Structure 1
């Protein structure tokens, strides 16, 4: 959930890169930051709570300079948001460490190291890494930093991505990965490490994605040695990143969330392109997809947060279009209960980053139970989930910087719709004419999304009212219930307004007790077969003095009146309606956050890439 950067250079100060890299990782979420630099005589460190800019100012004041360094943005897990808990952590003035992840046995390790004479100055689990490496370095490893990191890692249980430097090793940077994202980037006479490619793209596009268990020794020449989880010398492919530097810049927009909301027509068109061009051929999902799809009898979806809501929507499509039994589980819960495994079930994992630890561990748990077929839907090439999955579909959302997911969610929905139709064709439930109709709906969807974006001025007016509220209720029925859930989540994430979502039919079973003149009720009510049911539910709200804010379409015959506000999309888009109606709830949350003055792109307590449990 935090960000790591590191660099070893031949003749250029690393401080500017470390600070710039951390700024590019701010979107991941953090509460403090720090850098440590080998100055040639010692390791000098600067740490601050708050924004990276505060740490940058402090580094400039002390004139920090060196050719080897590491940096970190921290999202607190063990210990509060204090400078002593901020990374990097230093042991004995000799070893400096940055770390993402969680060391699950840190209490046992802490006791072991205290018995060896080490004193702890923080509450973090990371400090045990620094002391453990220091002990190995000064004892069994006898000054071999690579060997010391190897030996120390044998003690750690949990997830980690680490960068390590030593005072007396100005020519090497050690890095290790287990369960958390980490890459090595190769420049000219300089080598970098980072949590993701956005931190290094301004320096080089040549990257190596480390795998679980990898430990690497780096110099200005690149990777000097790399061993895998079996401690065997290994090689990893050097790839050229296609990430655009422009995608990491705001351009004309005020916030990344605003930019990413408005990028959805293109992101959806790019994601749908392969489905349209190949007319739902199974090979879209992998070379073995036709064979795998022929063997499965059901689907299990594993995901977290917004991706979980994408999965809830997909359940309707998969069972309606493909006629295949589908269940969905929150990944963090699935792995901790007794599960009845079905080897003929396709396990579908959904993750924007492809590194969500709960989802990754849930997949591993499913595989351990005998699930042999898996599909990953992901936005980041070469990330962990695709590498562990039998099949993969990459969405084409591009870099998503805002913590609150927008274009990643809608492109996930496009991918899942494509999966539903593809399985429907293979199972004989979608005929040629229906395929053609679905292709045409996908072709028109980007234009429909643009029409929804054009509703923004009306939504801004609503947001001014929502900004004054403390609570909100979102309602939907059928396939639009997950849209209500996503709308409530977005409002919570970036405005800090308490929001809940319910199927509209559940109002009378409890939530109706919350409704009064102070509780705005948002209703997702397009013109589908459940519209009359939704209208009846709305009457229940109006009868209790509730104020209704209705997102609908021109076909629904809604009329605005006192206590009932209506915004219409130009037309009902049929089976793809959940994607279209996601846009207005995103805009409502964004503009409400603006009106309340919250930090839209970096909401408190949250992180973009959730790589801890």
Structure 2
């Protein structure tokens, strides 16, 4: 969950490294640092805290170098301190390494190295790597061979980048954590994520597990750990540099909320025909005729989007289940060659989801990645991939990617229903028309929403509860997740019918309840609303602007454009995103970088 950046050129790269770290700060922000190499040693500057702390130190120290690596950390082994910040070096400062992942056998390696006389200055698992490399260099190996010897001894997951004194090159490798090369004219780049160097180049090379790359100012060479050359294609990323900027918004999250109409346009564009049919070029009619069971594996927001899709499938007679990827990876459900395992992951790099995919494939299941990132590990490792086209999302709290995931999963669900049951759903034409209206409906919400004043009345409460049924249930869960992620206030989501089975004990006049109404079974949810109202809880209802029964029953009403019930959840979710955002803003929270969280969870 850390950010790696690196650059090699023919002039000073310190400013490029700092800019790359600023672009990756959403991946980790407990501490940060850079290392540049010279003929004699490696210069390291690293600091606990945000990038601004590092920038202040760099202004004072003024390091230089035309080869360098950088890192922004989200702590796993060891507290966020200067000593534990990356890069880490060997005893003589010849070798500097940055690392994302977990080295599972580091304790044994550390004990062995300490017995041989190596001295350690941090609590991290990463520090064993430069010492392993130094040991190999002392035995007479070249930097390239020493790097390979070191990584050959590692167990666990990693993305590693290394510089060595006197070497005008960056050495890097990955196993389970992402790394991508940026191909420039007079500079070459390396990072854990494309936005690090997107302002400099959109030409990229995605590395695969067990790849080793040597990057110089003139280019790059990719081999396997044993030295076998491999060809990794250069691809063009269609994101623009301004996509990763705030563009006048106070926070990335608010910008990305407002980007949802455009993201939805991209998600849907070309995938619905003029006569109201689904057109997925990757999956023509009949692609899923042999599927008997559908299993979704996902984490966090992607898990809620998967729940949404499962509701759509189950209601139309297709057997579907949703699993938390971390649970599926350790306690898998039975699968066979007629099972479709759909891995839903924004980044395509979520460790638990990738572990679930590997397990499903080992057991013979067909796998499909629904992801935002072309070239991601999930897209390459799964049998098939379907892209949500949301563009880069910088805010840790996912917003536009949830909407795009649901839109694309709706299209996938329509294709699955037709292939598995033998006929399209009765509601398909209406659902697809509603889906095509989604961009304009979301824009209407963004233009007219008045939840900012509501947010002021719902801050500093004892707790916040979110309820819904059908597709509104995962939206309630997602609403609670967004609220707790960025406000740090207690929030929980429940199936509306579950209130009386325990959660009702928590309801008081100081616990507002946000009730999501989809247009299906609203009368039942209204009964639940009355249950909490009799306990004194204020109720905020989110539902169709034409639902007078809801508006007249709840204490405060947030309208959404009238649409098909299976699509309404996306609109309700936008309003809940805005509620969470404005409450967090009023509380002065770190909205784009909520405490203890990182954007992409690349360790299990």
Q: TM-score range by the shorter chain?
A: over 0.9
Name which of 253, 259, 271 aligns with 1:275: 271
CA distance in 1: counterparts of 2:340 and 2:119, whole angstroms:
50
Q: Judging changes above 3 Å, is the alpha-carbon distance between structure 1 residues 470 and 144 closer, same or farther for their aligned structure 2 residues? A: farther
- Identify the residue that residue 53 of structure 1 maps to in structure 2: 52
Give the equivalent residue in structure 2 for 1:190: 187
- Asked if 1 retains the 8 angstrom alpha-carbon contact of 2:468 and 2:515, the reply is yes
8 Å CA contact 2:294, 2:341 repeated in 1: yes
What are the Cα deviations for residues 328-370 of structure 1, in whole angstroms up to 9, with x where unaligned? 1000111112542222100100011011111011100111122
- Any conservation in 2 of the 1:208–1:237 contact (CA below 8 Å)? yes
Deviates more, 1:471-480 or 1:561-570: 561-570
Kindly indicate whether the alpha-carbon contact (under 8 Å) linking 1:274 and 1:284 is maintained by their aligned counterparts in 2: no
**Aligned residue number for residue 552 of structure 1:** 543
Partner residue in 2 for 1:370: 364
Query: How has the CA–CA distance of structure 1 residues 21 and 383 changed in structure 2, closer, same or farther, with 3 Å as cutoff?
Result: same
Q: Which residue does the alignment assign to 1:175? A: 172
The separation in 2 between residues aligned to 1:524 and 1:36, in whole angstroms, is 51
1:611 corresponds to which residue?
602
Q: Which residue does the alignment assign to 1:203?
A: 200
Q: What residue in structure 2 maps to residue 380 of structure 1?
A: 373
- Partner Cα separation in structure 2 for residue 249 and residue 554 of structure 1: 34
Give the alignment of 1:192-591 within 5 angstroms. Answer: 192-223=189-220, 225-228=221-224, 231-277=227-273, 283-286=280-283, 292-321=287-316, 323-337=317-331, 339-371=333-365, 373-428=366-421, 430-431=423-424, 434-457=427-450, 459-528=451-520, 530-558=521-549, 564-591=555-582
> CA 1:564–1:433 in structure 2 vs 1: closer, same or farther (change >3 Å)?
closer
Q: Report Cα offsets for 1:406-450 as digits up to 9, x if no partner.
A: 000110001110011112223456549854333322221111112
Which structure 2 residues correspond to residues 16-55 of structure 1 after superposition, within 5 A?
16-55=15-54
- Contact 1:555 1:572 (C-alpha < 8 Å) held by counterparts: no
CA distance in 1, matches of 2:429, 2:472: 24
| Distance (Å, rounded) in 2 between the aligned partners of 1:211 and 1:338 | 26
Helix, strand or coil for the counterpart of 1:293?
A: coil
Secondary structure of 2:161's counterpart equals strand
Taking the aligned partners of 2:41 and 2:576, their CA distance within structure 1 comes to 53
Q: Deviations for 1:8-64, whole angstroms, at most 9, x for unmatched residues?
A: 111x11100000000000122321000011144321111111111110111121111
How far apart, CA to CA, are the structure 2 residues paired with 1:32 and 1:232?
Answer: 36
- Alpha carbons 2:104, 2:156 under 8 Å: kept: yes
2:80 maps to 81
Kept in 1: contact 2:340–2:368 (CA 8 A): yes
Q: Quote how far apart the aligned CAs of 1:526 are.
A: 3.5
Residue pair 1:280, 1:422 contacting (<8 A) in 2 also: no
More deviation in 201-210 or 84-93?
201-210
- Cα distance change, pair 202–554 in 1 and its aligned pair in 2 (3 A): closer
Shift in alpha-carbon separation, 1:128–1:266, aligned structure 2, 3 A: same
3-state SS, counterpart of residue 555 of structure 1: coil
Aligned length in residues: 602
Distance in 2 (alpha carbons) for counterparts of 1:99 and 1:502: 39
Contact 1:280 1:418 in 2 (8 A): no
1:559 and 1:332 map into 2 onto residues whose CA distance is 38
Distance in 1 (CA, whole Å) between partners of 2:132 and 2:239 is 37
What SS does structure 1 have at the residue aligned with 2:546?
A: helix
TM-score, normalized by length of structure 2? 0.96
Out of 475-484 and 113-122, give the one that drifted further: 113-122
Residues 501-522 of structure 1 show CA distances to partners (whole Å, capped at 9, x for unaligned) of: 1111111111111011111111
Shift of 1:71: 0.4
Tell me the secondary structure at the aligned position of residue 449 of structure 1: helix
What is the DSSP-based 3-state SS (H/G/I as helix, E as strand, rest coil) of the residue aligned with 2:230?
A: coil
Quote the residue 1:146 is aligned against.
Answer: 144
Instruction: Tell me by how many angstroms 1:73 deviates.
Output: 0.1
Deviation sequence 1:537-563 (CA, Å, 0-9, x none): 111101111111111123322366798
Unmatched 5+ stretches in structure 2: none
TM-score by structure 1 length? 0.95
Q: What SS is found at the alignment partner of 1:295?
A: coil
In structure 1, runs of 5+ residues without a counterpart are: none
- The RMSD of aligned alpha carbons is 1.8
SS at match of 1:159: strand
Once the two structures are overlaid, the 10-residue window that deviates more, 154-163 or 270-279, is 270-279
Summarize the alignment of residues 596-607 of structure 1 with structure 2, pairs less than 5 Å apart.
596-607=587-598
Give distance in 2, aligned partners of 1:215 and 1:42: 23
Q: Deviations over 1:373-432 (max 9, x none)?
A: 111000011100010111111111111111000000110001110011112223456549
Q: Is the 8 A contact 1:187 1:206 kept in 2?
A: yes
- Give 1:271 shift: 0.4
